[in-house]
Amino acid sequence: MSFTKQMSSPPPLEQFQIGWICALHIEAIAAAKMLDITYGPLQFQDKSDSNSYLLGKIGHHCIAIASPRAGSIGNTPATAIAVNLLRTFHDIRVGFMVGIAGGIPSQKHDVRLGDVAVSFPGDNCGGVRQHDFGKSLEGGKFHRTGFLNRPPNSILSAVSLFRLQIDLERTRFPRSVRDALEKDSVLKNKCSAPDPKTDRLFKANQPHPPETTCAQHPVEWDVARAQLASDAPNVHYGTVVSGNSVVKSAAVRDSLLQDIPDAVCVEMEASGLMNDFPCIVVRGICDYCDSHKNDQWQGYAALAAATYAKELLEFLPAQEVAEEILALKLYRK
């Protein structure tokens, strides 16, 4: 993890072809710390563009990190961030949606707090599914409809190559997450990993009682899980489930898994982006979408996701990015 260097002013806006979207303040902090070079303030911004920007460079890529000036969640704000981004940066071709999400543990994906989830196409799915869009049927059943676009081919190729190198232990990830914490005082203060003992997956029939803390819950409430050889984050590739509402129910979470067997996490922004903004979704797991949900792991999860995204960019050739269609053209269709 290299330290950033400050420059007086950014290069011409046409050199920025990658947009990195953050919906929360802690996500923007983690993203900013990933930049190899940090540029000074943006000198021009479209008067209709209400985003805040952090500009810099990762490897050969000029990156525009966009976040809302007033923090909010949901897929409409994420869409607004992307629309505003393209008002100022007309040459954006690919996007990264990087941040935190609630995990969906399963037999296929042994998701733990601090792990990373990456949207990746599977059977009849482009990598993101909207869980609250569809038709209500007789008997109280809900049929999800619609299809969201896949990430750009250049990013999918980079993900496949990066995934192989991680499996072969030929990359810095996930060791680089620990290295970032050791070298940067801001990240150490805001994004350090909580005690691993706080990573507890509770049985679905054991909701969080009022006026208690999770530390007070008996061990009998825990789902039995294998002990991991390392506390370092693992990466899960599958379907990111997205919608307009916060999922804070183990029963709802498990019902989503029944309908979407390859689900890895639930979040609230991606479904508003995928059909108009060519991007990949990278999420750090900060809770399990149940009544025990809290913000204890948010900082570390944001850092894990940002670190993965930074190193993924190393496997993304600048020439392949330049050959992707302009994102602005997708919005004008």
Query: What mean pLDDT, rounded, does the chain reach?
Result: 91
Per-residue pLDDT at 145 exceeds 60: no
Per-residue pLDDT at 144 exceeds 60: no
pLDDT per residue as tens digits for the range 175-194: 999 999 999 999 999 999 99
pLDDT of 183 reads 95
pLDDT of 70 reads 67
pLDDT of 8 reads 61
What residue ranges do the domains of the chain occupy?
Answer: 5-328
Architecture in CATH for domain 5-328: 3-Layer(aba) Sandwich (3.40)
pLDDT per residue as tens digits for the range 189-232: 999 999 999 999 999 999 999 999 999 999 999 999 999 989 99
Q: Which two tokens stand for residue 264?
A: 């890895």
Beta bridge partners of 142: 136
pTM for this predicted structure: 0.94
Vertex 82: Cα angle to 77 and 85 (nearest 5): 120
Q: Which two tokens stand for residue 326?
A: 């302009």
Residues 102 and 286 sit within 8 Å (Cβ to Cβ)? yes
Q: Which two tokens stand for residue 226?
A: 């294998």
195-204 CB burial, b ≥16 within 10 A, e <16: eeeebbbbeb
Look at 166 and 7; give whichever has higher pLDDT.
166
- Find how far residue 116's CA is from the centre of its chain: 8
Beta bridge partners of 97: 21, 281
Per-residue pLDDT at 137 exceeds 50: no
DSSP tag of 202: B
Per-residue pLDDT at 309 exceeds 90: yes
pLDDT per residue as tens digits for the range 62-109: 999 999 986 566 666 888 999 999 999 999 999 999 999 999 999 999
